[in-house]
Amino acid sequence: MPNLTYKEAIKDALAEELRRDSAVFIMGEDIGLHGGAFGLTKGLFAEFGPDRIKDTPISESIIAGAALGSALAGMRPVVEMMFGDFSALAYDQIVNAAAKARFQFGGQCKTPLVIRMPVGALSWKSAGVVHCQSVDNWYVQIPGLKVVLPATPYDAKGLLKSAIRDDNPVIFLEHKALYEVAGDVPDEDYVVPLGVADIKRSGDTCTVVACGKMVHFALEAAVTLADEGIDLEVIDLRTLKPLDEETVFNSVRKTHRAVVVHEGHRSGGLAADWGMRIYTECLDWLDGPVGWVAAKDVPIPYNDGLEKRVLPQVADIVAAVRKTHGEA
């Protein structure tokens, strides 16, 4: 079983799906000879050529609209947005057209469209207000879209292959800080089903619900808390919509405590949504308040020190877990 980075796993998934299905093609800014802003399509142009690796104008709205049209015509486009933040320029095409097409036509059409978006803050370089946002909540609230955010190379490859084979529009989020994180990825063809969470660490005293980079932070927090006799169960949601509520609720009913962690902003963010679902379905099982860890409600600063003060850190998760146990 080879050891691949998150970035290499995504590239492998793209290449395998391009070889498997002639209807699959990729489109985006500078994805051809240049290989994309983060190098995820590097080398694909040489193998598949300009008909299947399509460079586009610098217009996110045109890219999303053209992709939707080709999906309705029977193709399986995979769009690469240079940054998730820039997808705001394509928001109308994504949420008012792509998300609603199957509903508007009574299920008579399919919309097999994947839009890949690098999101989140880099761990090694600050990039400021319009390159580091978590945009998942922009899309989770829209009926008709599926939203995915893998945390490991294995999940990144398997989830992307599932997304490409799905007949609905899928927003596939890739955390930039994870691109160089390595892990075991099978050689053989495999998929990870959409809508199924994964327990990354089993425990029995508190459930931590997270996604993307925050899964790794939660696992780091678990090491610190283990010395205090607190045994965390870490759930990686993997798919943000549809949400695997059953896995979350079963875990909370076992551990009797919960902390929700999301890199997005506190107001209107996904952590609040997850926490309310836990309160609604698991109140009788809770032995403490649900902990809530999210980014502060300010734009992401460029200064590295300020960025770390705005975004959730491992210490914030540790503090939230201690609070659920009645500790200051």
What pLDDT score was predicted for residue 6? 98
Indicate the helix (H) or strand (E) that contains 209: strand 206-210
What pLDDT score was predicted for residue 127? 78
What pLDDT score was predicted for residue 272? 96
Helix runs in the chain, H state only: 6-20, 44-48, 60-72, 91, 101-104, 136-140, 153-165, 213-226, 245-255, 270-282, 304-310, 314-324
In the set 34, 131, 175, 265, the catalytic residue is: 131
Find the mean pLDDT for residues 111-117: 98
Both tokens of 251, joined, read 């875990």
136: Cα separation from own chain's centroid: 7
pLDDT at 1 exceeding the cut of 80:
no
Q: How confident is the model at residue 304 (pLDDT cuts 50, 70, 90)?
A: confident
What pLDDT, in 10s, does the model give residues 255-280? 999 999 999 999 999 999 999 999 99
What pLDDT score was predicted for residue 328? 56
Mean pLDDT of the chain: 95
Select from 198, 207, 270, 280 the least CA-distant residue to 240. 270
* Architecture of the 3-184 domain: 3-Layer(aba) Sandwich (3.40)
What pLDDT score was predicted for residue 124? 63
What pLDDT score was predicted for residue 123? 66
Enter the CATH code of domain 198-324: 3.40.50.920
- φ/ψ of 44, rounded to 5, equals -70, -35
User: Domain boundaries in the chain?
Assistant: 3-184, 198-324
Q: What is the pTM of this model?
A: 0.96
In whole angstroms, what is the distance from residue 136 CA to residue 170 CA?
12
Find the mean pLDDT for residues 203-214: 98
Select from 105, 168, 108 the least CA-distant residue to 142. 168
What pLDDT, in 10s, does the model give residues 149-205? 999 999 999 999 999 999 999 999 999 999 999 999 999 999 999 999 999 999 999
Cβ-contact 290, 324 below 8 angstroms: yes
In whole angstroms, what is the distance from residue 139 CA to residue 211 CA?
15
Cα dist. 1→18, 98, 185, 237, 247 in Å? 22, 37, 6, 24, 28
Active site residue 131: yes
Cα dist. 187→94, 164, 184, 190, 274 in Å? 34, 19, 10, 9, 35
Domain 3-184 shares a fold with domain 198-324: yes
Find the mean pLDDT for residues 121-144: 87
- φ/ψ of 84, rounded to 5, equals -60, -35
Diameter of the chain measured on Cα atoms: 60
Find the mean pLDDT for residues 29-58: 95
What pLDDT score was predicted for residue 231? 97
Cα dist. 256→209, 259, 278, 319 in Å? 13, 11, 11, 17
In whole angstroms, what is the distance from residue 113 CA to residue 50 CA?
19
